[in-house]
Structure 1
Amino acid sequence: MTLAPLLDAPAVIQFHAAFAFAAIGLGAAQFLAPKGTLPHRTVGWAWATLMMLVAGTSLFIHTIRMWGPWSPIHLLSLFTLAVVPLAVWRARRHDVKSHRQAMIWIFTLALVVTGLFTLAPGRIMNKVVFGG
């Protein structure tokens, strides 16, 4: 395992990865913590902000090009940019069930699934985890 491939990557990829790692950690902690408390809301705002940053920075990464500069992963970014504000709005309306479902989908699709794609051969995170 070596961070060299990530440290040699363009700055947008480094920021994207840092935001994603932070979001994974905060999101996992959030799932385990008590709900509806002030800490839950505070961490939730931080996590939502991180997710918007993860999705936003991904729009400037074009290492996989299927439709011009875009790839299917960018569709998940658009999903995230649309659903995070919706999930926050649902929480503010006290629609706990819809809020919970949206947050689980966001975490699963935008972090877990896309995170697994980054481990594909030839990708930077594959080189970080498995060596060059």
Structure 2
Amino acid sequence: MINQITVFLENDRGRLASLCRCLADAGINMSALSIADTTDYGLVRIICNEAEDAKAALDKAGYTSTITKVAAIGVPNRPGGLAELLETLDDADIDIEYGYCFSHQDGNAVFALKVADPGKAASAVFKLEQAGFKVMSQGELD
């Protein structure tokens, strides 16, 4: 499992740029950023090199943020790669609350996902690796 930061961000012009500047000024490098919006606010999900430092910088700047454990799974960057991963997770009875993909420096994609039952997901690691997927650690994403 890796650390993901979720930031609750008002839907106002310039807020996302300001959030990114805050992290840049704190020396935080983002590997991934995902945005989901509602009418009044957005949920910005970030994978970065130093989640605790990032959260501290965001808190100091007045943002509301949390750190959540998510799984990061390497996926072959080819047609059907994600479908095969999702089928393997389905076969392992793993329920996904949300997820998003991003590119990785090794040429593969990474699927970051929040699962309903982390204990069940931990027991599925062997099955994922047998199917050819790599469960990644925080250090492998930096």
TM-score with structure 2 length normalisation?
Answer: 0.23
Quick one: higher RCO (CA 8 Å, sep 6+), 1 or 2? 1
More helix by share: 1
More strand by share: 2
TM-score with structure 1 length normalisation?
Answer: 0.25
